[in-house]
Amino acid sequence: MVSEEQLLDSAARVLAGDHSASMVQIAAGTGTSRATLGRRYATREALLKAVAVRTIQVVDECLAPAGLPETADGAAFDRALEELVVALLPAAHLYGFTSRDATVLADPRFRAGIDRQDQRALAFLAHGQRLGRLRADLPPYWIWYALWGLLDAAAEGVRDGRLAPRQTGRLVLTSFLGGIRPPGQPSA
Please list the ranges in the chain whose pLDDT falls under 70: 1, 180-188
The pLDDT of residue 16: 82
Using alpha carbons, select from 40, 43, 48 the residue that is nearest to residue 102: 48
Alpha carbon 43 to chain centroid, angstroms: 25
Evaluate whether 3 touches 10 at the Cβ level (below 8 Å).
no
Evaluate whether 51 touches 8 at the Cβ level (below 8 Å).
yes
Q: Torsion angle, CA of 109/142/91/33, rounded to 10 degrees?
A: 70
HSE-CB of 46 using CA atoms within 13 angstroms: 8
Domains of the chain by residue range: 52-178
The pLDDT of residue 94: 81
Task: Report pLDDT digits (tens) over 6-52.
Answer: 999 999 888 888 888 999 999 999 999 999 899 999 999 999 999 98
The pLDDT of residue 183: 65
The pLDDT of residue 159: 84
Rounded-to-integer distance, Cα 33 and Cα 87, Å: 31
Type of residue found at 115? D
The pLDDT of residue 81: 93
The pLDDT of residue 102: 82
Evaluate whether 29 touches 110 at the Cβ level (below 8 Å).
no
